[in-house]
Each structure stands twice: as C-alpha cells, then as structure tokens.
Amino acid sequence: MRLFAVVLISAIAACAADLPAAHETLDDTARAAALRSWKISLAPLVASQALDASSSYGMRELNPLLASANGGFEMKGAMIKLGFTGAAVGAEYLIVRKYPHTAGIIAKLNWTCGIVTTGFAIHNYAIK
C-alpha cells in the first residue's frame, strides 16, 4: 500500500507541469484529444482492478475492509473493490466534465494505477 501511495504521489508531481496556467485555455482539438485519452485510460484501470480481484480471490486478505469473516478475499471484498473503482471513475467523470483541462493528468494517473495494480495481480498469481 505504501508503494502505491509513493507511485501515486510521484505521478501527481510529474503531471503537475502539464496543468495550464489559470489564464490559459485549451483549444478544441487539444481538449478533445485529452478527453479521448482519459476515456481510453479507463479501460486499463478497470481491467487491472478486475485482474487484481480475480488473482486475489480465495487468498488471505490483509485489508480488513476487504476480508470476509474467515479472513479471505471473497465476493464481499471483490464487490467493495470494484465498487470503489466505479466510484472513482464516477468522480473522475465529474471532475473532467467541470474541469476539462485535468483530463490529461487524470489519464496519466489511470495508466499509472493500472500498471501498479497489474503488478500486484502478477505477484498474486505468482504466489498462488
């Protein structure tokens, strides 16, 4: 979890330079490209979360929020995990709709989270 936080903070810091100044605006083609990039980035984000949930299914879960009564990752944990992912996508949609200039940054964060979570899933499959 600490690695995830470090990667997320690093990605935010790296993307901070991409923010336009308050007086700058994106032209229509740049805005459309950023929105298209954000929409495409949702696929690896959701796919990596589903892959991580499937790789963790039946294994011991250290996160008490996701653990079932017997301490394993089962349907309860999978639904909570995928529910949080859906809520994050919904929040991103609202942010991008109100502040379109953030679409590029959020797309980079989605790709970063997708890559990190896929790494977790690969680890889970390796120890199964």
In this predicted structure, what is the pLDDT of residue 2?
A: 56
pTM metric for this prediction: 0.76
Q: Are 89 and 83 in contact (CB under 8 A)?
A: no
Can you tell me whether residue 54 is helix, strand or coil?
helix
Q: Encode the chain (128 residues) as per-residue pLDDT tens digits.
A: 555 555 555 555 555 555 555 445 557 888 899 999 999 999 999 999 999 999 999 999 999 999 999 999 999 999 999 999 999 999 999 999 999 999 999 999 999 999 999 999 999 999 98
Per domain, the residue ranges of the chain are: 50-128
Please give the structure tokens belonging to residue 32.
């459309």
Q: What token pair was written down for 76? A: 């309860």
pLDDT at 58: 93
In this prediction, residue 52 carries a pLDDT of 95
30: closest CA among 98, 100, 111, 112?
100
pLDDT for 29 equals 87
